[in-house]
Amino acid sequence: MTLDLHGGRLGILAGGGDLPKEIIEYCQSHSIECYAVYFKGQSDDDRLDSVDHDVVRLGQTQKTLNLLKKHDCTHIVFAGSIRRPSLFDLKPDLRTAKFFTKLGMGAAGDDRLLRAVRAELEKEGFLVLGAHDILPDILTPEGLLTDVSPDTRDWEDIKSAYHILEKTGELDIGQGCIVQHGLVLGIEAIEGTDALIERCGYHKRSGGGGSLVKRLKPGQDMLMDIPTVGELTVEKLKNAGLKGMALEAGKSQILNLSETISAANAAGLFIVGFTADEL
């Protein structure tokens, strides 16, 4: 079913990675009016020419809101990764400074921050959507997706990582964890999944195995930032010498699903979508 914006326009707040491109291409192929705000130093500049857009600096909240309204956007989607800057690097405008003051940014995790951003957008009259509201089949299916499957030892690692993320998620820390033979190689923090995998490749023990697990934090807002993987994740896992990844079915997303599965099969890695009940 084609997304119905009721005569409005979709505003895409575009970060890095392939997700903004996928959303833009879907909108263009389905005659959905869209406009993108790219963030300087964060978004992939090679995609700028494909859609009506403007480029702003992170921290220019009022300018961003004005541009979204100027281009008749009624719905907003966050797409792609954003590297979180320090307040010193951010150079916030007055609207952003007031927002941070109200939030009390001293120890705000990503989910708390994004919930507050969503509230600000909704206060301005925008309807916030998730990428899964736009792209069909982006949510991780349940079950084994690849030719290679996790063995008993892999499942023990997956279960361990899942329960570790339950605890760290309560503290609004990360969505990913890598465990090998019961040993925690790393937990995702501000560096992101790709850097986590690279780091864990240096700490991997002999004997094979090693599983990346990604899941939602308890109570996390699915419209803003859910666990995401793609072909690059597969490449990073292969280069790190790890065995595969397990994702929370229906609560995580796989970019370019068929291509990602094909890449995992070619690399001899597993991808599995699990449910909480299984673990």
Ranges of H-type helices in 12-141: 19-29, 61-70, 87-90, 94-103, 110-123, 131-134
What pLDDT sits at residue 278? Answer: 85
Ranges of H-type helices in 171-269: 193-203, 231-240, 257-267
Closest CA to 37 of 88, 7, 80, 4: 80
Put the strands of the sheet holding 73-79 in their side by side order. 53-56, 34-39, 9-14, 73-79, 127-129
Give the pLDDT band (50/70/90) at residue 2.
low
**Adjacent-strand bridge partners of 78:** 13
Task: Give the torsion sign (CA, 44, 45, 51, 56).
Answer: positive
Q: What is the pTM of this model?
A: 0.89
Closest CA to 10 of 115, 122, 129: 129
% pLDDT > 70, the chain: 92
Q: Which domains does the chain have, with CATH numbers?
A: 9-134 (3.40.50.20), 143-278 (3.40.140.80)
Closest CA to 177 of 164, 167, 190: 164
What pLDDT sits at residue 91? Answer: 80
Ranges of H-type helices in 107-223: 110-123, 131-134, 152-170, 193-203
What pLDDT sits at residue 99? Answer: 80
What pLDDT sits at residue 231? Answer: 96
Let me know how long the chain is. 279
Give the pLDDT band (50/70/90) at residue 45.
low
Token output for 94? 């007055």
What pLDDT sits at residue 250? Answer: 96
Give ∠ CA 95-96-97 in degrees, rounded to 5.
95
**Adjacent-strand bridge partners of 37:** 13, 54
